[in-house]
Amino acid sequence: MTQAQKTAKAKFKQAIAYRTKTGVSLKEAFAHIYGKKKVSKKAAKKRISGPKDSAAVKRELARKGLKMPHGYTTTKRKRISGVKKKKITEKGILNRIHTVKRNVERLDEAQHKHMIGRIKAKPTIIALAKKIRRQTDMNEHNLAILSLAKFLKEKKSIELMNNVIKMHNNYGYMPKDLINIRDTIYAQLMITLKHKYGQVDYKEIEHSF
């Protein structure tokens, strides 16, 4: 290190020390060290150590003829140790939505089972459901729907289902158009059943098919 570099380093340390002592800017401190400008201690800005509370700040500013800025406070917010903020993610929100949905579905199912347990289907409906279930197990879907039509005494549906059964026997299988006709008759019969007998009896027959 050359002599000039050593001198510059020493003056830099002096400027830093002078700035720390008087509170002037770094530029003014260098000017003072290099003799370009003299800064009196009275004119230099002194650092005021911050009071611990707002009341002390107000008193200090009032003594200097100043006012505290609106909304200013020196009170520090206390941080609760051991409490961490949970990061909210899109996946977490979706998981909560699915959880709520599952809970609602379980509640609806439990309520339905409770109502079914308290209100039973009529004996005639229970007997019809057993008959339809037996016919369905034997793959006699046409006869099962015919049994429902006879129970409801729907003459038009009875006539149509007899025709469907005859055509089925003639073809030896159920064409797609014939299946669509049978499904339409079934849907109409179920609407009639629900209207006449209510939800409980409707569910009893619906589960038998």
% of the chain exceeding 70 in pLDDT: 72
Report pLDDT digits (tens) over 103-114: 887 777 776 665
Burial class (CB in 10 A: 0-12, 13-18, 19+), 71: exposed
In the chain, the amino acid numbered 123 is P
53 in Cβ contact with 72 (< 8 Å):
no
> Does the pLDDT of residue 81 top 60, yes or no?
no
Nearest to 143, CA basis, from 174, 117, 177, 121: 174
User: What pLDDT, on the 0 to 100 scale, is given for residue 8?
Assistant: 75
Res. 125: pLDDT tops 50: yes
Instruction: State pLDDT tens for residues 48-61.
Output: 454 456 677 677 77
74 in Cβ contact with 54 (< 8 Å): yes
How many whole angstroms separate alpha carbon 51 and alpha carbon 74? 8
Which pLDDT does position 43 carry in this prediction? Answer: 45
Residue 158: phi and psi, rounded to 5, are -65, -45
Structure tokens at 143: 């006869």
In terms of phi and psi (left: phi > 0; alpha: psi -120 to 50; beta: otherwise), the region of 161 is alpha
- Cite the DSSP H helix spans in 64-175: 90-118, 123-137, 141-152, 155-171
In this predicted structure, the answer to whether residue 38 has a pLDDT above a threshold of 70 is no
